[in-house]
Amino acid sequence: MVLNHKTIPIPIVLIGFSFVVELLANTVSFFTLTIAKYLFWIGMSIAGFLIFLDLTALFHTFVNEHFTTAIKKVKQHQQLIQEERKKIEKLIKIEMSDTEALRDHLEELDASKFSAEALLPYLAEWHRHYGEVHHALLQENHDLIMEEVKSLQLEKRKLEASEEKIENDKRTTFLEQTQDQSYVYTENLTEQQQQLLSLAEFEKTYQWDIIEKCSKEMMIKSKHHEGVSHVYLVGAIKNYLKENNVPVETYDTKLPDLIFNVDGQEWAIEVETGSLYRKNQKALKEKVETNNRKYPQRWFFVVTNKHLTPKYNTFGDTVDRNSVIEKINTIIHTP
C-alpha cells in the first residue's frame, strides 16, 4: 500500500486556507482566528494520518520482502505440496503402449523426487502404476525377445537347411566323382568322405603302390568275387595306361582282366592272386590256351605276390606287381 496522490491536496488546501482565514480575520467578520486554527490542525491531522498510512504500507512491504513469517512459510509449503500432487496425478494417469514411450516414462518415474507428504495420498496408486508400467515394459521386451528368438530360429533353420543342402551336394558330387574309381588314396580324403565311401562298399586297406613302390593306405571298392588286392591292381594298371593315352578296357567276365591297344594290336593282362592256381588249375590252363590263341605273345600274368611268380611262369609270361610298370613301358614305348 502506498500514499494516494489524489488525497495529498486536501491537507495542503486546508492548511493553506487556514493561513488565508488568519490574514482576513481582521477584515472579514465571519473569519476568525479560531476557525483558522481548526482548519490548520485538521489539515495537519489529515496529512499526518496519510503519512502514517504510507509509512505503514512501506513497513509492511519491507517486512514481506525481507522477513518470512510462519504463515507465509505454511502457505508456500502448501503451494509446493499442491504443485507436487498435480505432477503426481499427471504421471500416474498417463497411458501408453509404445515400448519407447514406456521406457521413457519409467525413467521419468524413477527420476521423480516427491516429498512424502505430497506422495502419501497417492502412494498405493503410485506403486500400482509403477508396477503396471514396469510389467508392461517387461512384457514388451519379452515379446520382442521372443520375436527375435523366433526370427533367429527361422534363420538358423534356413541356414542349416542351406548348409545341409550344400553338404548333400558335396556328398553327391564326391560320390559321383568316385563311383567309377576302383580305389582312392585316404591321404586325399576327409573323415566324412571315408565314411561315405565305406557306405558305398569301399574297404580301407594297405596296398603296394605300383607307381611309388611303397605301401599306401587306400579305400578299395569291394567285389564279391575278387579280393581287394586284385581290384586295386587292375584299377592301378588301367589308370597308368590311360595316363599314357593307351586305350584300355577292363572285364569281369571270362575275358582277360585288362585289354589294351598298342599300334593297332590288342594286348591282354591277367591279374592273379594265386586263388585260381590253388583251387582250379584246369580253369587256369583253359585261360592260358584262350589267351595264347587270341593274343599270341601279347599277354602276360601280373601276380599280387612275388612268391607266385615262379608258379605262374610255368603257364605263361609273368611279372609281379613291383615290376608291372616296367613291363608295360617296354610294350607301349617300344618303337
What is the spatial distance between Cα 280 and Cα 315, in angstroms, rounded to a whole number? 13
Q: What is the pLDDT of residues 249-260, one digit of tens each?
A: 999 878 999 999
pLDDT band per the 50, 70, 90 thresholds, residue 2: very low
Residue 167 amino acid letter? E
Residue 109 amino acid letter? L
Percent of the chain predicted with pLDDT > 70: 88
Task: Please identify which residue in the block is written with the cell numbers 564279391.
Answer: 224
Whole domain around residue 111: which residue ranges? 87-179
Q: What is the pLDDT of residues 306-319, one digit of tens each?
A: 999 999 999 999 99
Domain CATH code at residue 243: 3.40.1350
pLDDT at 224 > cutoff 80: no
pLDDT band per the 50, 70, 90 thresholds, residue 237: very high
Do 317 and 278 share a domain, yes or no? yes
Sheet holding 299-303, edge to edge: 248-250, 258-262, 265-272, 299-303, 318-320
Residue 243 in domain: yes
pLDDT band per the 50, 70, 90 thresholds, residue 268: very high
Do 99 and 19 share a domain, yes or no? no
- Predicted confidence at residue 225, as pLDDT, reads 79
Least confident of 125-129, 204-208, 316-320: 125-129
Q: What is the pLDDT of residues 284-303, one digit of tens each?
A: 999 999 999 999 999 999 99
Do 231 and 310 share a domain, yes or no? yes
- Predicted confidence at residue 200, as pLDDT, reads 87
Displacement of CA 57 from its chain's centroid (Å):
77
Do 159 and 27 share a domain, yes or no? no
Do 173 and 228 share a domain, yes or no? no
Residue 74 in domain: no
Strand partners, 194: none
pTM of the model: 0.54
Helix (H, G, I), strand (E, B) or coil at 62: helix
Residue 2 in domain: no
Nearest to 171, CA basis, from 130, 204, 200, 133: 200
219-254 exposure pattern, b = at least 16 Cβ within 10 A, e = fewer: bbbeeeebbbbbbbbbbbbbbbbeeeebebebeeee
Number of domains in the chain: 3
Contact predicate 269/300, CB 8 Å: yes
Displacement of CA 231 from its chain's centroid (Å):
51
* C-alpha cell recorded at residue 259: 585289354
pLDDT at 247 > cutoff 90: yes
